[in-house]
Amino acid sequence: MFIGGLGFRDHGVEIRRNLGVLPEGLGLFESLTVIENLMAVGPIYGFTKSETAARAADLLGLLDLTQGRHTVARNCSFGMRKKTALAMALLHKPRVLLLDEPFEGIDPSSSAVIEMLLDQLCGDGATILLTSHILSIVQKIATRVVILHQGRVESDFNPSTADEGVEEAYFSIVGEPQPEVLDWLRS
Partner 1 sequence: MAQILALLFLLKRLMLKELNSFSSVRFNNFLFSILFIMSAGLESGAPKAAFWSTLFFQIVLLAPLLVTFSVDTQHRLPPERVATWPLTCTQRLLLTSVSFALNPLFIVLFFGYLFWMGLAAGLFFVLLALIVHGTVYAVARLSFELRTPAGLNISRTPVKVGGIAQEMWRELQGTLDFWTALLIAVSGTLYRLFGRAPEPEAFPMLSLFVGITMSTIGQRMLCLDEGRALLRYRLLPIAGWKLLVTQDMTFLIPLAVMVSLLSLRTGIAFGLVAIAVGRYPSLRQRANQRRWRFVGGDPRFGVAQVLLGGLAGIGAARIGLWVLAVAFALYLVSVFWGEMLWKRSLAA
Residue choice 4, 5, 6, 19 for contact with partner 1 (CB under 8 A): 19
In the complex, minimum distance from the CB of residue 74 to partner 1, in angstroms, rounded to a whole number: 8
In the complex, minimum distance from the CB of residue 154 to partner 1, in angstroms, rounded to a whole number: 29
Going from the C-alpha of 51 to that of each of 21, 60, 86, the distances in angstroms are 21, 14, 18
Q: Does the protein bind partner 1 through residue 113 (CB under 8 A)?
A: no
Residues 44-73 that bind partner 1 (CB under 8 A): 44-45, 49
DSSP helix/strand/coil, 57: helix
Residues 135-174 that bind partner 1 (CB under 8 A): none
Q: Does the protein bind partner 1 through residue 30 (CB under 8 A)?
A: yes
Separation of alpha carbons 183 and 187, rounded Å: 9
State how far Cα 128 lies from the chain centre: 9
Strand pairing of 127-131 and 145-149? Answer: unpaired
Separation of alpha carbons 186 and 166, rounded Å: 34
Q: Based on CB atoms, which residue is closest to partner 1, 4 or 12? A: 12
Residues that bind partner 1 (CB under 8 A): 8-9, 12-14, 16-17, 19, 21, 23, 25-32, 36-37, 39-41, 43-45, 49, 88
